[in-house]
Amino acid sequence: MKLNSDKIIRLIGCSILLVFSYWLFIPNGNVSSKSSVMINKDDGSIHYPSKGSVIEQGYEMVDGVDKNSGYEYKLVKPLPYTGEKEKACFVTLARNSDLYGLLRAIQSVEDRFNKKFQYDWVFLNDEEFNDEFKRLTSSLVSGETKYGLVPKEHWSYPDFIDQEKAAACRKKMTDDGIIYGWSESYRFMCRYESGLFFKHPLMDDYDWYWRVEPDVEFFCDIDFDVFKFMRDNNKKYAFTVSIFEYLGTIPTLWDTTVDFMKENPELIHPNNMMDFISDDDGTSYNLCHFWSNFEIASLDFYRGEAYTKYFEYLDKAGGFFYERWGDAPAHSIAVSLLMDRSEIHHFDQIAYYHPPFYSCSVDDETRIKNKCSCNPADDFTWQGYSCTGRYYKINNLEKPDGWFEYLG
């Protein structure tokens, strides 16, 4: 049967339309820049992009040979990520002795997130990293690894600290049974993480960081770029766990903060989150803080005038050494006072463990969607010693389905 010219033209047109539709709607291994993970501003819920915008990792087959047996096999290797990326990195402050606990943490991050996006990893240490540390960590990280030595002036006493007074304070805190009350190096670490780590030259290339510590674990797939999420949704600080601080470690921290606010009222954000850290409009500190062993944050915030002045004010007060001020309350108070409250975000779908607390979404749909392996019965989020329920309440955010079944 012969086809007339009109039918031929129609068939050609339909074929072109089908090919174009396939190209437009079927994902080809990369992330579409047209769609991002977004937040519903009314209830705080997260909306994921359509299928065509989700990461679908490309792979290649590579020939391999077992060095012992000589047997040949095919390796499946992920292709380099070619989508748009942020200027972001992972940051870990660690020592050589932390190696194997850190390798487990890196593997968890890579398996659940970074093998898709291949972000860099910056390792910092107050001593030189040895070759074994560099060789093994770089073998696991899919992005570039960088190793930095903390400057001596950032891991020692400032000139204005009375070291005899500091030693006497450590002894008293030890006698009082304060956790890490005896430790000098712990205080150096807290001061460094509070206001100095982002000044290391290796951090100059980045706008965002994700802090990772040894022995942590992640339990859910993270199939969206969290750094791009932060920028697209105008977030500057994100957390998974919040908790109350030990009062014995920070007896004068709030008084010092109140003095700072009185002297620098112009730096306090008009839409701050004071009601997260105080039950009486700033008269006292309720001890709530974000657990900073996990945090994803804007480095521009820490480099800015407001945070710089706040950290320098705390530093001059001496509480990092005369008491045992931690980076978690320092960061949390600053974030709550100096940021717009809308710029702070809780990642319910990032399931996380740092001894002894778990974050595991109690919402079944979230866990199934993200292939989570954690037990919601272990989740700390809605327990009585957690501050995350307060965060949801004061920001009028909708809690996940079933949260009340896990109240502690």
Which pair of structure tokens corresponds to residue 52?
């065509």
SS3 357: strand
Q: Is the peptide bond between 49 and the residue preceding it cis, with omega within 30 degrees of 0? A: no
| Strands 59-65 and 72-78, bridge-based pairing | antiparallel
pLDDT of residue 11 exceeding 60, the answer is no
Report H helices in 110-252. Answer: 115-117, 131-140, 163-175, 184-195, 226-232
Cβ atoms within 10 Å, residue 39: 18
Both tokens of 362, joined, read 């109690």
Calculate Rg over the CA atoms of the chain: 25
What's the pLDDT at 47? 54
What is the length of the chain? 408
Model confidence band, residue 23 (pLDDT cutoffs 50, 70, 90)? very low
pLDDT beyond 90 at 93: yes
Q: Which string of DSSP letters, residue by residue, matches 69-107?
A: T--EEEEEEEPPP-S---SEEEEEE--GGGHHHHHHHHH
Calculate ∠ Cα 153-190-336, nearest 5°.
120
pLDDT at 38: 59
Q: Which two tokens stand for residue 100?
A: 């194997």
Q: What pLDDT, on the 0 to 100 scale, is given for residue 115? A: 95
What is the pLDDT averaged over residues 376-394? 96
302 neighbors 195 (Cβ within 8 angstroms): yes
pLDDT at 26: 42
Q: Percent of the chain, pLDDT > 90?
A: 77
Candidate list 217, 295, 323, 343, residue with the active-site label: 295
Higher pLDDT pick, 41 / 30: 41
Rounded to whole angstroms, the Cα distance separating 163 from 251 reads 19
Q: Report the phi/psi class of residue 180: left, alpha or beta, with left for phi > 0 and alpha for psi in -120 to 50.
A: left
Higher pLDDT among residues 396 and 55, named by residue: 396
Q: Would you say 63 and 72 are in contact if contact means Cβ atoms under 8 Å apart? A: yes
Nearest-angstrom CA–CA distance, 356 and 353: 7
For residues 207-213, give the mean pLDDT.
Answer: 98
Among 10-19, 165-174, 179-188, 382-391, the range scoring the smallest mean pLDDT is: 10-19
Tokens in use for 20? 């174009």
What is residue 167's predicted lDDT score, i.e. its pLDDT?
A: 98
E-strand stretches of 246-367: 288-290, 296-298, 344-346, 352-354, 357-359
Model confidence at 44, pLDDT cuts 50, 70, 90, reads low
Is residue 295 part of the annotated active site? The answer reads yes
pLDDT tens-place string over residues 139-160:
999 999 999 999 999 999 999 9
Indicate the DSSP class of residue 203.
G
Judging by beta carbons within 10 Å of its beta carbon (0-12, 13-18, 19+), is residue 83 exposed, middle or buried? Answer: middle
Instruction: Tell me the average pLDDT across 45-52.
Output: 46
Tell me: the pLDDT tens digits for 337-376?
999 999 999 999 999 999 999 999 999 999 999 999 999 9
Question: What ranges do the domains of the chain cover?
Answer: 170-206+214-406
3-state secondary structure of 273: coil
Tell whether domain 170-206+214-406 is in CATH 3.90.1150.10.
no
Of the ranges 72-81, 124-133, 169-178, 278-287, which one carries the lowest mean pLDDT score? 72-81
Instruction: Please write the tens of the pLDDT for every residue from 218-267.
Output: 999 999 999 999 999 999 999 999 999 999 999 999 999 999 999 999 99
